[in-house]
Structure 1
Amino acid sequence: MELDLTPFFLSLKLSFITTVLLLLIGIPLSYFIAYTEFRLKPIVEAVITLPLILPPTVLGFYLLILFSKNGFLGSLWEKIAGHQLSFHFEGLVFASIIFSFPFMIHPLISGFRSVNRSIIEAAYTLGKSRLKTLFYVILPNMKPAVITGIVLSFAHTLGEFGVVLMIGGSIDGETKVVSIAIYEAVEKLDYTSAHIYAGILLGFSFFTLLTVYLLNKKYEFKG
């Protein structure tokens, strides 16, 4: 039996792009939330956390409406790219950013809050700008939080099923990621393929968590 590895490579591509974009969005947003007090802060934090507790079908349903030709993002994307977001790889990227958002944002917020404010104030006193202080003082002192956010976001995106099924369906080479491939293999009673796909994901998830714990222990020991 020849196993099609395309869904696995597509999942890795999706996870990589999603994680990079989440990191770029997450650092400034987490910085703002961690160090700024404003009246609507609890609402913003609640919205960010929603994907953790919402059933994937609920989130997927609303995203499907938003990404459709009649939806705001869907119609806008169709004008730009010539096709709708749903049932295309770009739609999976947008959806993945939303449902993996808390897995990046929460570790980063905790990391920013864990940095000793005295070293931040010292950097400002020495004439460092906020941007230089962020990159040369704050981020180096919260490496475990950054690594945790990156690893958890990547792993969560890699294994997501419900949302990607509703947004992307199962289109070979476009939206058929490994979690969908496992589901279809089981439906066809092709347990050999399902075992291989599931085994790869299980092994990756285990080593992902192991990496996070080992790195955090390493930085705790150094600290």
Structure 2
Amino acid sequence: MSIVQALSPEIWTAVRLTIELAALTTAILLVVGTPVAWWLARSRAWWKEAVAAIVALPLVLPPTVLGFYLLVTLGPSGPGGALAGLWGARTLAFTFEGLVIGSVVYSLPFVVQPIRNAFEAMGDRPLEVAATLRASPARAFWTVAVPLARPGFLTGAVLGFAHTVGEFGVVLMIGGNVPGETKVLSVAIYDFVETLRWREANILAGGMVVFAFAVILAMTLIEKRMRRAGE
């Protein structure tokens, strides 16, 4: 029997939830993170680095600290509770929607920083040339800046997806361990170890190691391509 055939429906559900969470989080981060990265790269405001520091906070904050404040925010007494009340729920905590919000916050710097670096690396010259050709700022952004920053978008998407797949602390704090709703791969591994189901834990942990290797290899190849393009 192959490993794929040996996987239980419980594991396949965790895999599906993880992929859905990572894909949705990455898509939201690209939409939200792009204007943030553009502003950080182009703004001359003296307080922009304070904003950059706020965006980067998840890089240094312990996941339990960030998870605690997200739990308070998404809980019945926080804004998340009021938002959930719009469709008759009491809270966004321990729901898939809450996991998406938490993942977006926690993975934000992993998407914003590569895109910001790409925007900064292209300099002012391409936009100045576009302006001389009477391109509007919006058209110059979409036809000049975005294509030139494509490696940054690719790097950000890969990092955002991978970081969401591997996150544990924040996910456990705000999502708990609800099968079919919030039990993603990282939580499933923890649950299998707690219940002494070593075989299932080993299969999932091995799969995560292979996934991490693939991400690192992809990042290396992207960086090499970026260097060649810049030569």
Interval of TM-score (by shorter of Structure 1 and Structure 2)? over 0.9
Q: Number of aligned residue pairs: give it.
A: 222
The structural deviation recorded for 1:2 is 4.5
3-state DSSP class of the match of 1:70?
coil
The structural deviation recorded for 1:216 is 2.4
Question: What is aligned with 1:48?
Answer: 55
Question: What is aligned with 1:135?
Answer: 142
3-state DSSP class of the match of 2:177?
coil
State which drifts further: 123-132 or 74-83.
74-83
3-state DSSP class of the match of 1:107?
helix
1:208 aligns with 2:212: no
Question: What is aligned with 1:81?
Answer: 87
For residues 37 and 7 of structure 2, what CA distance do their matches in structure 1 show? 45
- Amino acid of the structure 1 residue aligned with 2:70: L
Q: How does 1:82-101 map to 2 (within 5 A)?
A: 82-83=88-89, 84-101=91-108
The structural deviation recorded for 1:220 is 2.1
Q: How does 1:29-68 map to 2 (within 5 A)?
A: 29-68=36-75
Normalization by structure 1: what TM-score? 0.96
For residues 69 and 109 of structure 2, what CA distance do their matches in structure 1 show? 18
The structural deviation recorded for 1:130 is 1.4
3-state DSSP class of the match of 2:92?
coil
- Amino acid of the structure 1 residue aligned with 2:81: S
Normalization by structure 2: what TM-score? 0.93
For residues 62 and 87 of structure 1, what CA distance do their matches in structure 2 show? 14
Identity %: 41
3-state DSSP class of the match of 1:170?
coil
The structural deviation recorded for 1:191 is 1.2
The structural deviation recorded for 1:186 is 0.7
Of 157, 163, 170, 1:150 maps to 157
The structural deviation recorded for 1:82 is 2.1
Cα distance change on mapping 1:2 and 1:153 into 2, 3 Å:
closer
The structural deviation recorded for 1:76 is 2.5
For residues 219 and 68 of structure 1, what CA distance do their matches in structure 2 show? 43
The structural deviation recorded for 1:103 is 0.2
Question: What is aligned with 2:114?
Answer: 107
- Amino acid of the structure 1 residue aligned with 2:101: F
Cα distance change on mapping 1:41 and 1:178 into 2, 3 Å:
same
Question: What is aligned with 1:69?
Answer: 76
Q: Note the aligned Cα RMSD (angstroms).
A: 1.2
Gaps of 5+ in 1: none
